[in-house]
Each structure stands twice: as structure tokens, then as C-alpha cells.
């Protein structure tokens, strides 16, 4: 499934710049969930401002879950240049369009449906088509998209991220497809669509948002060098992990 370590000197410099940092990973502890969400909110807006200033567009990949939900609620009221945002999703459950279990439904309900991002710049994964057809269609959507500006990710109790699960295919090789059809996920629903680890790694910034006591064992495994899906996300400039300090 690919290697999970880096030896590039660039990562050693970045790691040394932050306390409690592992190679290629910058651990950024915050006091509690409220501070984590506020910090993430400010970092997203900062990344958007820089991207629009430098390239005219901001390309973000969203994660599902309760922790980003609070961040999305805050973004709903932000004063941002929404017309130049481009929104993608890291993964999706294969359930009907509009279903409350979908990441795109959650994001729309708390944020996206309330801000003037042009509809042709919002790109939900068509999970309603099923894993295989949905993956093929989303791969076509991504075909002309370059590096993402910012990828948001979470961490499951088992170390999964997006819909990349332990002991399953992660798509880490140089020839990996951009999008994977997941037909046997260990958590329901079994069918999902997920960007591959290789595609999620094609980003200027990657930021994990992690809170909750249930994540403690996965964090311990990650920091001890275990081969987890989260460790397969390896952008050239490393990843930032916003995490409640109690978990470190």
C-alpha cells in the first residue's frame, strides 16, 4: 500500500519548527474543540485569501464529521470572496442525494446553501450512482483540476481518513487513480466513493481536524509509526494536525 515515511530534508526543517512534531507532520495542539474549530476557521479563510490573491481561485476539499460541522457553521457567516471558491469533497457515502448521512448534505445544510458560491463551482460526489459509477464520474470531474489549495481531513477511531480504511486499498502509488470505488467499507454503508491517498496528497496544504477521546488509540498508533491510512496522505510540504491537547 505504499510507504508511510519521508526522508526529505524539507520535512525535517518543518518538523523542527514545531513542538511534538513527527517527520512530515506538524502537531498543533489546542485547548479544546471550540479553539480547534476557531483556529481551523481562521486558517481556512487565510488560505482562501492567499490563494485568490496569488492564483485567482481557492480550491478546497471538504471532510465530513462533527468537528468540521462546527467549522462550517462559522464559515456560513464569514465575509469571504465566495465567487472564487471551488468546493470538492474527499469522500461520500453511496446513499440517495439529499440523504442526511451524506457529507455534501451536511455541508450544504450548515454552510454551502447559505453563501453565494456559484453552483458550477460546487462539486459534490455523486454517491447516489453507486460506488463504481460514482467514482468514474468524480474522476472525470477532477481530470482538469490541479493541486488543491487546502484539503481538510478527519481521523477515525481505526486510523481511517476520508473513506480509506485499514487493510483496504488506499491508492498510494504514482499510478493510483484519483478516485476509488469502495465496495466493502467496514463501517456502513459498505459502498462509498473516496479520493485516493495520492490525489488527496496533491495539495498545497493538508489539515487534519481531530478531537474526541475515541481517537486516542489511533493517534498513539500514528505517532508510533503504525501503517495507517492517515499516514498515507503525504503532500510535499507535510501535513498540519489540529488536535485537542488532551489527546497528545
Is 42 a residue whose pLDDT tops 60? yes
In this structure, is the dihedral angle defined by the CA atoms of residues 210, 70, 82 and 193, taken in order, positive or negative?
positive
Is 8 a residue whose pLDDT tops 90? no
DSSP 80: -
Q: pLDDT averaged over the chain?
A: 91
Give SS3 for 230: helix
Is 135 a residue whose pLDDT tops 90? yes
Which of the residue ranges 3-7, 17-21, 55-59, 183-187 would you say has the lowest mean pLDDT? 3-7
Q: Under a CB-based contact definition with an 8 Å cutoff, are residues 89 and 106 in contact?
A: no
Q: Where are the domains of the chain?
A: 42-247
pLDDT for 174 equals 87
Sheet strand arrangement including 122-123: 25-30, 239-244, 206-210, 150-153, 58-62, 85-89, 122-123
What residue spans of 76-191 are helical by DSSP H?
103-110, 131-142
Is 82 a residue whose pLDDT tops 90? yes
Is 4 a residue whose pLDDT tops 90? no
Q: Which three cell numbers, joined as nine digits, stand for 160?
A: 481511517
CATH topology of domain 42-247: Rossmann fold (3.40.50)
pLDDT for 23 equals 62
Reported confidence tier of residue 14, pLDDT bands at 50, 70, 90: very low
Is 204 a residue whose pLDDT tops 50? yes
pLDDT for 207 equals 98
Is 18 a residue whose pLDDT tops 60? no
pLDDT for 126 equals 98
Q: Averaged over 157-165, what is the pLDDT?
A: 97
185 Cα distance to chain centroid: 18
pLDDT for 97 equals 94
Q: Averaged over 105-133, what is the pLDDT?
A: 98
Task: Report the C-alpha gap between 16 and 29 in whole angstroms.
Answer: 15
DSSP 48: H
Is 220 a residue whose pLDDT tops 70? yes
Task: Report the C-alpha gap between 175 and 188 in whole angstroms.
Answer: 28
Is 112 a residue whose pLDDT tops 80? yes
Amino acid at each position: 500500500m505504499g510507504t508511510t515515511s519521508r526522508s526529505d530534508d524539507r520535512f525535517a526543517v518543518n518538523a523542527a519548527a514545531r513542538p511534538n512534531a513527527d517527520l512530515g507532520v506538524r502537531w498543533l495542539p489546542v485547548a479544546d474543540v471550540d479553539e480547534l474549530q476557531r483556529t481551523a476557521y481562521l486558517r481556512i479563510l487565510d488560505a482562501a485569501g492567499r490563494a485568490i490573491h496569488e492564483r485567482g481561485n481557492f480550491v478546497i476539499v471538504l471532510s465530513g464529521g462533527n468537528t468540521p460541522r462546527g467549522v462550517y457553521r462559522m464559515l456560513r457567516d464569514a465575509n469571504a470572496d465566495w465567487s472564487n471558491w471551488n468546493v470538492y469533497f474527499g469522500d461520500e457515502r453511496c446513499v440517495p442525494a439529499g440523504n442526511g448521512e451524506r457529507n455534501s448534505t451536511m455541508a450544504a445544510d450548515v454552510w454551502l446553501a447559505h453563501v453565494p458560491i456559484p453552483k458550477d463551482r460546487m462539486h459534490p460526489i455523486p454517491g447516489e450512482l453507486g460506488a463504481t459509477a460514482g467514482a468514474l464520474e468524480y474522476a472525470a470531474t477532477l481530470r482538469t483540476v490541479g493541486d488543491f489549495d487546502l484539503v481538510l481531513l478527519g481521523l477515525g477511531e481505526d486510523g481511517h481518513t476520508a473513506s480509506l480504511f485499514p487493510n483496504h486499498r488506499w491508492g498510494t502509488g504514482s499510478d493510483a487513480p484519483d478516485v476509488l470505488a469502495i465496495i466493502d467499507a467496514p463501517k456502513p454503508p459498505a459502498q462509498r466513493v473516496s479520493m485516493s491517498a495520492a490525489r488527496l496528497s496533491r495539495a498545497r496544504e493538508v489539515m487534519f481536524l481531530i478531537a474526541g477521546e475515541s481517537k486516542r488509540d489511533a493517534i498513539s498508533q500514528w505517532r508510533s509509526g503504525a501503517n495507517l491510512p492517515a499516514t498515507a496522505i503525504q503532500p510535499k510540504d507535510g501535513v498540519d494536525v489540529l488536535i485537542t491537547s488532551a489527546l497528545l
